[in-house]
Structure 1
Amino acid sequence: MARQMWALVLLTLVAGCGGPTAEPVVPSSGTPETSTSAAPSTSPSLAPSSTSTPDAGERVAVPVYYVAETPAGFRLQREFHSVVTSDPASAAVREMLAGPTGADPDYRTYWPPGSALREPVHREGGAIVVDLGGVGPTRMGTELAEVTVQQLVFTVQGALQSTDPVRLLVDGAPAHDLWGAVDLTAPVGRGDPYAVRSLVQIDSPADGARVGREVEVRGEAAVFEATVLWEVLRDGELVQKGVASTAEGQRFAPFAFTVTLEPGEYTLRIREDDPSGGEGRPVLSDDKRITVA
């Protein structure tokens, strides 16, 4: 029953993540599956927490955004991390800064090594205040710097279910800019999600998950005519392919499909349809490696 409840929780959370609105609170009842589960499962899987000593509190799933390098430039991708905390926003920021990648190695964080949250995330004067230390000089272009700051904005806003702008402090003090590229003289608002986020996203199973033969794939996409194209590959060879539909076209909306696979290692891949026939921007995609047991 706990697994069924958590599956419903994650589906509800994903359904509320579209567009400029923030992620809703995840009820704490039940224990989420993680990609490190020893037994096969078709329940939605969450990326394991990388926080070594979680805060006291309840188990929740927090959205953590990362930067992916796509054919269309840098875009944000999202993972849900299972953490035990009484402060989801601070926990989400710590998860974001914990390593060079998320559970998916294609999802990266470009914050300099040693970047850390100095004080708990809090609200003040209509803004969300995030105080970071260790964000010294780093070599990155303006585009990547802006997306990296948006990574933080989307993460804390998602954890707090808020669209309030983010005031970023550096070592406890206001900063004029970050890395000479991003203006910090005013709180930073959320960028246009259709320009900042990848338009296709697999939320479950997590990359590296061990699953049963009936593989339930869930995610979110903002795609033409609500059409998500999917395929399953094994050793680079196509095994199955199909089409899934989102709840609404051209807006971030959830989708789900189930595929039956023999035991083995596979890559799940989704992509958007291309009505331009190659004349428009490059097609966006997302993939996850899974083991079917």
Structure 2
Amino acid sequence: MRPPRVRRLVVAALVVLLAGGAAACTGSGNADDRRIPANPGAPTGAPTSAPPATRAVPVYYAADTPAGTRLFREFHAVAPGDPATTAVRELLGTPAIDPDYRTLWPTGVTPRGPVTHGGGEIVVDLTGIGRAPASKAVARLALQQLVYTVQGALQSTDPVRVLVDGQRADQLWELADISVPVVRAEQTSVRSLVQIDAPADGATVGREVVVTGEAAVFEATLPWEVRQDGRVVTSGVATTAEGQRFSPYRFTVTLEPGDYELVVTEDDPSGGAGRAPLTDTKRISVR
């Protein structure tokens, strides 16, 4: 786990990298994580120990939801260079910034070498595969976690061939098929339907808080709340670019200094007759 001071620097860098909706991806519904800042400078006023240049890479984690375990995206500030391999290393070895998220991969799995991309496929060579997940469903979602992360880092939807210790294999953990390159699963079947991209969890922000993300919600309607000590201090409704498919949203809320929780949620046209709405939350400090 990152030391607390380093973690604060990462969150501070992400505030700058994702400001102005830079992390709001295309509204095409492809979720290919485009418009990621490629080579931004160091955050203004950042400590001198911060890297001279960073870029943001999308990393997918998992969390439990009323619709079962789903993938959630967050952006990590990393040194420029090899975004795909770096993103895979973040996925496998770095805890999520948001404590609600977790990786589905066992401890000790690492890339055996750099991720390669050519001939219409992405190749990820893994070693230290370790213990199998609890079920086929978890193993398959872990594969999708990898696929979404590496495709997002490369801004490509090419399928992902997974090697184990440099060799092709038919099965991963004897639970998931890797005999052929793994294609991206349909988004609404694996991703949370509601996602806050910015601010990052734990961010310190100014009074004008710009909230961006992606959602696939009924009639493009996205209710939101700001809570403090469990009490709703303000609320509203944002609109996504399109309804019923993943598309970006953006809204701004003005807050007094203090600590808050941002909550975005699906609209519930059933009036409570269906499953509970999916949500995403972020803790922020306004200064």
Q: What is the TM-score when the length of structure 2 is the normalising length?
A: 0.87
Give the letter for the 2:184 counterpart.
R
Per the TM alignment, residue 188 of structure 1 is displaced from its structure 2 partner at its CA by 0.6
Residues 89-113 of structure 1, C-alpha deviations (whole Å, 9 max, x = no match): 11111111123x3100111102111
For 1:173 and 1:288, the matched residues in 2 are separated by: 41
Asked if the contact 1:132–1:168 (Cα under 8 Å) also holds between the matched residues in 2, the reply is yes
Asked if the contact 1:5–1:29 (Cα under 8 Å) also holds between the matched residues in 2, the reply is no
- Give 2:41's match in structure 1, choosing from 26, 31, 54: 31
For 2:112 and 2:26, the matched residues in 1 are separated by: 30
Residues 210-231 of structure 1, C-alpha deviations (whole Å, 9 max, x = no match): 1112211111111111111100
Give the letter for the 2:181 counterpart.
P
Asked if the contact 2:16–2:43 (Cα under 8 Å) also holds between the matched residues in 1, the reply is no
Asked if the contact 2:73–2:195 (Cα under 8 Å) also holds between the matched residues in 1, the reply is yes
Asked if the contact 1:167–1:188 (Cα under 8 Å) also holds between the matched residues in 2, the reply is yes
- Give 2:82's match in structure 1, choosing from 80, 87, 111: 87
Give the letter for the 2:91 counterpart.
M
Residue 105 (structure 1) aligned with residue 133 (structure 2):
no
Per the TM alignment, residue 282 of structure 1 is displaced from its structure 2 partner at its CA by 2.9
Residues 137-164 of structure 1, C-alpha deviations (whole Å, 9 max, x = no match): 2341122111111000000111111111
Per the TM alignment, residue 37 of structure 1 is displaced from its structure 2 partner at its CA by 6.5
Residues 81-139 of structure 1, C-alpha deviations (whole Å, 9 max, x = no match): 1111221111111111123x310011110211111111100024421100011112234
For 1:7 and 1:105, the matched residues in 2 are separated by: 19
Residue 16 (structure 1) aligned with residue 10 (structure 2):
no
- The verdict on how the C-alpha distance between 1:33 and 1:139 changes in structure 2, with shifts beyond 3 A counting, is same
Q: Report sequence identity in percent.
A: 55
1:197-276, aligned counterparts within 5 Å? 197-276=191-270
For 2:205 and 2:279, the matched residues in 1 are separated by: 22
Query: For structure 1, which runs of at least 5 residues remain unmatched after alignment?
Result: 39-48
Aligned length: 272
Per the TM alignment, residue 279 of structure 1 is displaced from its structure 2 partner at its CA by 2.8
Per the TM alignment, residue 63 of structure 1 is displaced from its structure 2 partner at its CA by 0.8
What's the counterpart of residue 288 of structure 1?
282
- The verdict on how the C-alpha distance between 1:236 and 1:21 changes in structure 2, with shifts beyond 3 A counting, is closer
For 1:279 and 1:87, the matched residues in 2 are separated by: 47
Asked if the contact 1:64–1:96 (Cα under 8 Å) also holds between the matched residues in 2, the reply is yes
What's the counterpart of residue 70 of structure 1?
65
For 1:72 and 1:181, the matched residues in 2 are separated by: 22
Per the TM alignment, residue 7 of structure 1 is displaced from its structure 2 partner at its CA by 5.2
Asked if the contact 1:20–1:192 (Cα under 8 Å) also holds between the matched residues in 2, the reply is no
Question: Which moves more between the two structures, 183-192 or 117-126?
Answer: 117-126
For 2:75 and 2:43, the matched residues in 1 are separated by: 11
Give the letter for the 1:20 counterpart.
N
SS of 2:237's equivalent in the other structure is strand
SS of 2:78's equivalent in the other structure is strand
For 2:55 and 2:77, the matched residues in 1 are separated by: 6
What's the counterpart of residue 146 of structure 1?
140
What's the counterpart of residue 183 of structure 1?
177
Asked if the contact 1:266–1:290 (Cα under 8 Å) also holds between the matched residues in 2, the reply is yes
Asked if the contact 2:201–2:283 (Cα under 8 Å) also holds between the matched residues in 1, the reply is yes
For 1:29 and 1:125, the matched residues in 2 are separated by: 26
The alignment yields a C-alpha RMSD, in angstroms, of: 2.6
For 1:170 and 1:180, the matched residues in 2 are separated by: 12
For 2:33 and 2:42, the matched residues in 1 are separated by: 17
Asked if the contact 2:263–2:282 (Cα under 8 Å) also holds between the matched residues in 1, the reply is yes
Per the TM alignment, residue 31 of structure 1 is displaced from its structure 2 partner at its CA by 2.8
Runs of 4+ aligned residues of structure 1 deviating over 3 Å after TM superposition are: 3-8, 25-30
Per the TM alignment, residue 16 of structure 1 is displaced from its structure 2 partner at its CA by 1.5
